[in-house]
A and B are shown apart, each in its own frame.
Chain A
Amino acid sequence: MGLESLRCEQLPDTILPYLEDELPSEEAALVQQHVAACEGCAAYAGMVRSALCEEIRGRVYAYLDRELSTEDRARIERHLSLCAHCSDRFSFEGNVLHYVRREAQQVSASDPALARILERFRAKIEAELA
C-alpha cells in the first residue's frame, strides 16, 4: 500500500485489521483519514464494525465460561479494550451470570430426602436379592 493515500478499493482488505488494531500506526492513520473523508467507505466501515461486534458478542458466554483458546481470549480482550459498547455488554453478561450462579448454587439438597432415597434404593436391591 502506498503511504500517501488509500483508495476505496483497498478498504476491504484493510478494514478488519484496522478495526482489530492490527495495522501499523502509519497504515491505520491512512485508513482513518480515508474513512473520515469518504462517506461510502464510512458506511462500509460501520457495517464491518457491526458484524465484528456481533461476532464478538456471540462468543460472550464461551468467553465467560472460559471455554476459549488463549488466542481467542486475547483477540476478544483486545476488542473489548477498543469497543465501549461490547465492553459494556460483556460486563453486563458477566454480572448476570455471576448472580445466576451464586443464587442457583444455593439450591441445597435436604438431608432427609437423601437418606430416604438411599433407604429406598437399599430396600429395592435387598428385595431383589431375597
Chain B
Amino acid sequence: MSTTSTESVTLTFEQEAVPHLPALYRTALRMTRNEQAAEDLVQDTLERAYRSFDRYEPGTNFHAWLFKILSYTAISTYRRQAARAQTTPLDGMEEFNLYHQVRRTGIEASDVEASVLDRLGEGAVRDAIDALPPEFRLVVMLADVEGFAYKEIAQIVGIPIGTVMSRLHRSRRLLQAALCEQACAAGIIKAEARV
C-alpha cells in the first residue's frame, strides 16, 4: 500500500471511528475501573480495529463491530491480569434481595425509585456495576447503557442469546443486591437478619 492511500485509509477510519469514541470510552471506564487503563483499552481497540479495517464490511453495524473488538480486548486483558490478581468474591451478595427488603420496609414496589433509589448517593450505580465480575459488567453496559439488543450482544460478546439472557438476569440480581446493601448501610431500608 502506498503512503498516500494508507493516509487516506487512516483518515477514513478516523472519520468513521471518532463518533463512537465517547461510548467506547464510557464502557471501557466501567470495564477497567481506571481512567488510564480505560484510555489504553480504547487506544488498543482503535489500533486493532484499524488493522482489521479491511475486513470490516461497509454498511454493516460499525458501532457493534467496534464494541466487539473492545469486548474481546477487555476480557482478554482482564484474563491476563486475573491470573495474577484475586477478584472480589460475590458470595452471599444474592442474599440481599432488594424487592423483599423494600416490601418489608413497607414501601410500595412502584415507589422504589423515588423512595429508595433516588436517595442513594451519586455514583451508587457505578459502584454497583463495578462490583460485578467483568463478564457481567460487560452485558450490563451493553444492554443498559449502550442499548444493544440481545441479538447484538450475543454477536459482540460471542455467546449464545440464551447465555446473554441468563447472564443479564444474574447481573441485574447482583446489581440489586449491591444497591440493597448500599440502601441498608445508608439506613434507607432496614437490614434484615439473614433467614
Contact = CB atoms under 8 A, between A and B. Distances in A.
Interface of A: 58, 61-62, 65, 67, 88-89, 91-92, 95-101, 103-105, 107-109, 113-114, 116-118, 120-122, 124-125, 129
A88 B10 CA distance: 54
22 contacts: A61-B168, A61-B172, A62-B150, A62-B165, A67-B149, A91-B109, A92-B99, A92-B110, A95-B113, A96-B113, A98-B113, A99-B113, A99-B117, A99-B118, A100-B125, A104-B126, A104-B144, A105-B145, A107-B145, A113-B39, A114-B22, A129-B6
Contact-residue size bin, chain B (C-beta under 8 Å from the other chain): 35 or more
Nearest to A128: B6
Given A107-B30, A129-B3, A118 B112 contact: no
A118 B14 contact: yes
A125 B125 CA distance: 37
B42 interface: yes
B165 A61 contact: yes
B184 interface: no
By secondary structure, the A interface counts as helix
A23 to B, nearest CB: 29
Contacts of B75: none
A108 B46 CA distance: 19
Interface in B6-43: 6-7, 10, 14, 18, 21-23, 25-26, 29-30, 35, 38-39, 42-43
B143 interface: yes
Given A99-B117, A116-B39, 14 more contacts: A65-B168, A89-B99, A89-B109, A92-B110, A100-B140, A103-B124, A103-B126, A104-B125, A104-B126, A107-B126, A109-B21, A120-B43, A121-B50, A124-B47
B169 interface: yes
A104 B145 contact: yes
